[in-house]
Amino acid sequence: MWLFLDYDGTLVPIARTPEEALPDVPLLDLLSGLADMPALLVTVLSGRSLSSLQTLLPVPNLILAGIYGVEARLPGKGVITRIDPARLRPTLEAVKSAWAQLIAGRDGFLLEDKRLALALHARFARQADADLVLAAAQAEAEKMASSDHFRVLVGERYLEVAPAAAHKGQAIEWLLGQYAFPGARLVYFGDDDNDKEAFAVVRRRGGIAVAVGQPYGSIQARYHLPSIERVRACLQGWRAAV
């Protein structure tokens, strides 16, 4: 079996800032135990940067894929970045400057530079401010970032400019080509809009896709778990059963 896991909202609760969404010891122990199982490949596939995932999850044998699969640490293969950062930075710097001006003096916003992507968080802003700023920020991003090289990801009180290759479904297809694991059943757990692209690939390949938390994805994913605690319980059950 090849197990794919989102991080924020799937393995740990959504926090006020990305730096606050830390794994606890039981989660690290659980992932370590799963990654050590010879009949299982375990991948954390996240919108976070790879460097962030490596700091948060220092687990041997765990495949880590950041920026929706644009960069990855593959056991036995090292770190692979699928696009040249130098091609991205001028555009990202321009967007970053424009977004910084939009949120200047406003409370509840966070501008996150992931090196290969740029995210604007508005979860803790006033609704009216969030609506106004995110709409303006999206217009700026679409004007500056060519669709040939970038995509603009829109979520709940969230906006991101990322490489065109930042696509969890495409990342799964790419990862499947990195290891010889014929006949492996794919299982994917995810909680937000960016996971829908992964759900589609997993289901097309006869795998199991599980939406976590909000039941928005229950149709696309077919299965639904209401909480992070239920995800961990499910994973712990698999670990104990093998």
> DSSP labels for 53-76?
HHHH---TT-EEEEGGGTEEEETT
pLDDT recorded at residue 156 = 85
Considering only 1-5, 143-147, 215-219, which range has the smallest mean pLDDT? 215-219
**DSSP assignment of 4-58:** EE--BTTTB---SSGGG-PPPHHHHHHHHHHHT-TT-EEEEE-SS-HHHHHHH--
CB 163 within 8 A of CB 149: yes
**Domains observed in the chain:** 2-82+166-241 (3.40.50.1000), 85-163 (3.30.70.1020)
Rounded to whole angstroms, the Cα distance separating 210 from 220 reads 9
pLDDT recorded at residue 144 = 93
Rounded to whole angstroms, the Cα distance separating 181 from 189 reads 20
Say whether pLDDT at 216 is over 80.
no
Question: Is residue 214 very low, low, confident or very high in pLDDT (cuts 50, 70, 90)?
Answer: low
pLDDT digits (tens, 9 = 90+) for 86-122: 999 999 999 999 999 999 999 999 999 999 999 999 9
pLDDT recorded at residue 180 = 84
Rounded to the nearest integer, the mean pLDDT of the chain is 92
Cα–Cα distances in angstroms (integers) from residue 159 to residues 136, 164, 194, in the given order: 11, 15, 12
Question: Is residue 183 very low, low, confident or very high in pLDDT (cuts 50, 70, 90)?
Answer: confident
> Angle 228-241/25-35 helices, nearest 10 degrees?
40
